[in-house]
Structure 1
Amino acid sequence: MAGKVLRPGPHRWLWYALGGRLPEAHREWVLHDVTSKTWLWRHGLRTTFLIGPLSAVWLLLPGPLGLRLSLVLLALLVGYFYSFAFAEENAEHRLTKHGYDYGTGKRIRAAAKAEAEADVRERYLARYRQPE
């Protein structure tokens, strides 16, 4: 990415994590957020901000501790499962919300993956397939 990418402040990032749209100045940061090598970790962090508070509230409900812990565990498992099952769709939705064409994120991630795999293949061939 050329130039300096403007990161959102904590309050704007929280709004973004909850599904909100950031100002135009943060458009390139959104692209970086959903196409970087760590995009799935970032997605998981945003998901935590959505299901974490709800899970904490469930711990405070009256009832046996084992039941409350089971409820929280089940909620976390289901929440993270569905979140990661639709992570690519979520990323594309965030990008279209910020003015990018649908499929931009997937295309950029695929290109980066192909570049990394080509580098690995090149190193493999140089090491193990030397001409005789």
Structure 2
Amino acid sequence: MDTVTRPGPFRWLWYALGGRLPEKHHTWVLHDVTGRGWLWRHGARTSVLLTPLVFGWLLMPAPLGLRLALCLMAALVGYFYSYAYAEEAGEHRLARHGFPIGTGRRIRGEAREAAEAEAHANYLTRYRT
């Protein structure tokens, strides 16, 4: 099995902005997109993209209430669409790093099935024996 090499802060920033990491980080990318908590990490990458836009709108010349409302709406819409297409974005990110399309869905599905099987087995041992 390949070793997982985590990128440094600048490479992670490049990755969050949509860049491609070197070959030695591909196993980490697979874990990043399919591992436990992958939606939280997706949210962190989305925050990297939205933060400069929100701060830019906050500095516009307008009444403070209007600027805050614009920033809130922009952030809500940005996160909504980001999470609506999180799975597709993950598949695209994996494909960009050399993995076949559908790898993320398959790995997350296998993990979900294993967790459900374990929960079912725990249920059976606790309540049916």
Same fold (TM over 0.5): yes
Aligned partner of 2:30 in structure 1 is 31
Write out per-residue CA displacement over residues 84-123 of structure 1, whole angstroms, 9 at most, x where no aligned residue. 0000000000100000000000000000011011111100
Structure 1 stretches lacking a partner, 5+ long: none
Q: Aligned residue for 2:80?
A: 81
Could you tell me which residue of structure 1 aligns to residue 90 of structure 2?
A: 91
Paired letter, 2:14: W
Instruction: Measure how far apart 1:53 and its partner are.
Output: 1.1
Displacement, 1:3? Answer: 4.6
RMSD, aligned CA: 0.8
Aligned partner of 1:55 in structure 2 is 54
TM-score, scaled to structure 2: 0.98
| Equivalent position of 1:11 in the other structure | 10
CA contact (8 A) 2:2 2:27 kept: no
| Pairs aligned (count) | 129
Q: Is the 8 A contact 2:26 2:97 kept in 1?
A: yes
CA distance in 2, matches of 1:96, 1:3: 18
Give structure 2 stretches of 5+ with no counterpart.
none
| Aligned residue identity for 1:115 | A
Q: Deviations over 1:3-61 (max 9, x none)?
A: 53000111110000000100011010000000011100000000000001110111111
Q: State the percentage of identical aligned residues.
A: 64
